[in-house]
Amino acid sequence: MPRFEPHPHRRPALIAGASSGIGAATAALLAAAGHPVALGARRADRCEEIAGTIRKDGGEAFAYPLDVSDSGSVARFVSAAAAALGDPEIVVSGAGDLGAERVHDLDSEDFAAQLQVHLVGAHRLVSHVVPGMVARARGDIVLVSSDVVRAPRTRMGAYVAAKNGVEGMARALQMELEGTGVRASVVRPGPTMTGMGMGWDAETTGEVLEEWVRWGLARHPYFLRPEDVAAVIAAVVATPRGTHLTLVEVQPEAAVVKPAAAPAPTGPGTADAPAPAGAGEERA
């Protein structure tokens, strides 16, 4: 007799922020793994395009407009998705955007607006979905955070505050959900090549990068791809019952540096060291 009921065969997943980047990649990957997926974002036409591609590839997908800064919109998205696909078994909260202002230059209304999306938006999803999950005694909620919680970056004060709030809320939620069968997990990506930050002008981008180098925050030039983070989210929700990945930080791996040529052998019995696996390979 297993200690826990295994995951059900059908596990519909709601993805907030699915019109691009990590959310779009997560929708595609979860659909390929057999999950019916509901894609939500303000650009519902983009979500519908992605959903169409998923359906063409044999998956089950539903697209609906979603603005996580509006409670009514979240309520409509959740109920439309449940009507189309069934009760949600998985929710991925990854909606958000990023400004590039210094804290003291940022208008307080803009500061609050970033908290509204990243922090209160995540809470809106939790409050609309988790009670049903608790009643069914199972479910996965994945809150996409950021490595800025561990290593804050300049020009992102509101974002850093919001993501710290997300992780604080997540920890309290995990404690409150202990023993309910519902798992709340934090996925904390490092730099990822997505639409985020792409609206910054070239001058601002240059200044910000210089500041990050000055603060030791740009160790190497590789970024994660959205599919890399999606793979981590998929692994978190696929983890068998009885196990709970509470916090997973994912960073881009640095390019492999070829070891310097070994000095010529000087004595008998010296063997060539094998090249480390993958040496010289570059990330796509």
Ligand X SMILES: NC(=O)c1ccc[n+]([C@@H]2O[C@H](COP(=O)([O-])OP(=O)(O)OC[C@H]3O[C@@H](n4cnc5c(N)ncnc54)[C@H](OP(=O)(O)O)[C@@H]3O)[C@@H](O)[C@H]2O)c1
**For the CA atoms of the chain, what is the radius of gyration?**
21
Q: In what order do the strands lie in the sheet with 139-144?
A: 61-65, 37-41, 13-16, 90-93, 139-144, 182-189, 247-250
Give the total residue count for the chain. 284
Site for ligand X in 109-128 (CB under 6 A): 117
Site string for ligand X, 47-66 (x = CB under 6 A): -------------------x
Pick 54 or 196: Cβ nearer ligand X: 196
Q: Which element (helix H / strand E) includes 83?
A: helix 71-85
Q: Measured from the CB of residue 171, what is the shortest distance to ligand X in angstroms?
A: 18
Give the range of 67-75, 84-92, 101-109, 258-266 binding ligand X by CB under 6 A: 67-75
Which listed residue (7, 32, 33, 69) binds ligand X by CB under 6 A?
69
Cα–Cα distance, 151 to 184 (Å, whole number): 22
Nearest to 139 by CA among 189, 86, 95, 187: 86
Site string for ligand X, 14-43 (x = CB under 6 A): --xxxxxxxx-----------------xxx
Which listed residue (37, 51, 90, 95) binds ligand X by CB under 6 A?
95
Cα–Cα distance, 139 to 56 (Å, whole number): 28
Pick 126 or 138: Cβ nearer ligand X: 126
Catalytic residue among 130, 158, 159, 236: 159
Which listed residue (146, 169, 225, 233) binds ligand X by CB under 6 A?
146
Q: Which element (helix H / strand E) includes 30?
A: helix 21-32
Size of site (CB under 6 A) for ligand X: 30
Q: Measured from the CB of residue 25, what is the shortest distance to ligand X in angstroms?
A: 8
Site for ligand X in 190-209 (CB under 6 A): 191-192, 194-196
Say what the alpha-carbon torsion angle 147, 173, 248, 79 is, to the nearest 10 degrees. Answer: -90
Which listed residue (12, 88, 94, 157) binds ligand X by CB under 6 A?
94
Cβ contacts of residue 70 below 8 Å, gap of 6+?
A: none
Which stretches does DSSP call E strand in 2-82? Answer: 13-16, 37-41, 61-65
CB-facing half-sphere around the CA of 174: CA atoms within 13 A: 15
Active site residue 159: yes
189, 132 Cβ separation under 8 angstroms: no
- The residue number with the shortest CB distance to ligand X is 21
Pick 74 or 177: Cβ nearer ligand X: 74
Q: Which two tokens stand for residue 98?
A: 């990023």
Q: Is 97 in the site for ligand X (CB under 6 A)?
A: yes
Q: Measured from the CB of residue 133, what is the shortest distance to ligand X in angstroms?
A: 21
Q: Measured from the CB of residue 143, what is the shortest distance to ligand X in angstroms?
A: 9
Pick 19 or 174: Cβ nearer ligand X: 19
Which listed residue (11, 189, 225, 234) binds ligand X by CB under 6 A?
189
3-state secondary structure of 281: coil
Active site residues: 159
- Residues forming contacts to ligand X in the complex (CB under 6 A) are 16-23, 41-43, 46, 66-69, 94-97, 117, 144, 146, 189, 191-192, 194-196, 226
